[in-house]
């Protein structure tokens, strides 16, 4: 992983869960990190921690993925601080609970699409264009098994993540050969969202997947490092199922 030394890695939803684990993993490899999330204090605390632990640069940024102008502000902050972004990880996601499909409100639907699809589009479009005009880079989109196995309790989220998979393939074509764009399709991970799963949902998932358990947040890091480095040098527009063997 020496090739990540002094690289600049931007992680949205980076202050907790899978995002925080990826921040730690890249910083441990010598990369400078941009930690973007809605709660600035959480970003700042993590930035202080990785600076001290790994002796890398870390920039915390308050950021709401659903807000187009905040996407642009994040891009400006990243390039003002580092002059480039080598790896963009679109990790920020949202899947709010609702009582039934016919009670999904317009506001809920729009918010889910905005966070999971519109924000990643804007970041990938602008940062990808700059990568393509410069030294290249890697864009990693964090998808979901819901995109291909949609269930009624998360249908707007599933639709957004399906769209995100499409963006990966489209941007791979648009910005290749200098920019590689890939998707990690995550299955059941024990992040903060899991704390709000309905009763019995975790047990149901454990009985469904081939590995018989849900994943820890840290188990996303190997796939992220793979797509960020030359270990995946011929992968672009690819989708890696990281779902424990979901049938």
What residues are annotated to the active site?
157
CB half-sphere exposure, 68, CA atoms < 13 A: 4
Strand partners, 11: 35, 89
- What are the CA-CA distances from residue 74 to residues 34, 67, 106, 118 (Å)? 9, 11, 27, 15
Q: How big is the CA angle at 224 (ends 56 and 1), to the nearest 5 degrees? A: 55
In the structure encoding, which two tokens stand for residue 114, read together?
A: 């905005």
Residues with Cβ within 8 Å of residue 207, at least 6 apart in sequence? none
Which residues are CB-neighbours of 188 under 8 A, at least 6 positions away? 145, 194, 202, 205, 206, 209, 214, 215, 243, 244
For tokens 């990790």, what's the residue? 91
Q: List the structure tokens of 159.
A: 């639709």
Partners of residue 179 on adjacent β-strands = 137
Contact 89, 10 (CB under 8 A): yes
């Amino acid at each position: 992983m020496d090739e990540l030394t002094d690289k600049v890695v931007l992680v949205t939803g980076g202050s907790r869960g899978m995002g925080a684990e990826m921040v730690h993993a890249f910083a441990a490899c010598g990369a400078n990190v941009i930690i973007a999330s809605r709660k600035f204090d959480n970003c700042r605390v993590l930035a202080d921690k990785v600076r001290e632990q790994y002796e890398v640069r870390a920039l915390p940024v308050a950021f709401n993925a659903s807000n187009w102008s905040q996407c642009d502000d994040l891009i400006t902050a990243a390039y003002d601080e580092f002059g480039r972004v080598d790896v963009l990880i679109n990790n920020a996601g949202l899947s709010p609970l609702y009582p039934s499909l016919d009670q999904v409100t317009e506001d809920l639907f729009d918010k889910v699409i905005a966070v999971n699809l519109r924000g990643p589009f804007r970041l990938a479009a602008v940062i990808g264009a700059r990568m393509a005009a410069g030294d290249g880079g890697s864009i990693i989109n964090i998808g979901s098994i819901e995109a291909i196995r949609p269930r009624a309790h998360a249908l707007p989220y599933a639709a957004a993540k399906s769209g995100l998979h499409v963006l990966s393939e489209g941007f791979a074509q648009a910005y290749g050969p200098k920019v590689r764009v890939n998707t990690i399709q995550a299955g059941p991970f024990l992040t903060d969202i899991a704390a709000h799963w309905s009763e019995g949902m975790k047990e149901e998932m454990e009985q469904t997947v081939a590995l018989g358990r849900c994943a820890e947040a840290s188990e996303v890091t190997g796939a992220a490092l793979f797509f960020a480095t030359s270990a995946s040098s011929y992968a672009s527009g690819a989708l890696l199922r990281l779902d424990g063997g979901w049938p």
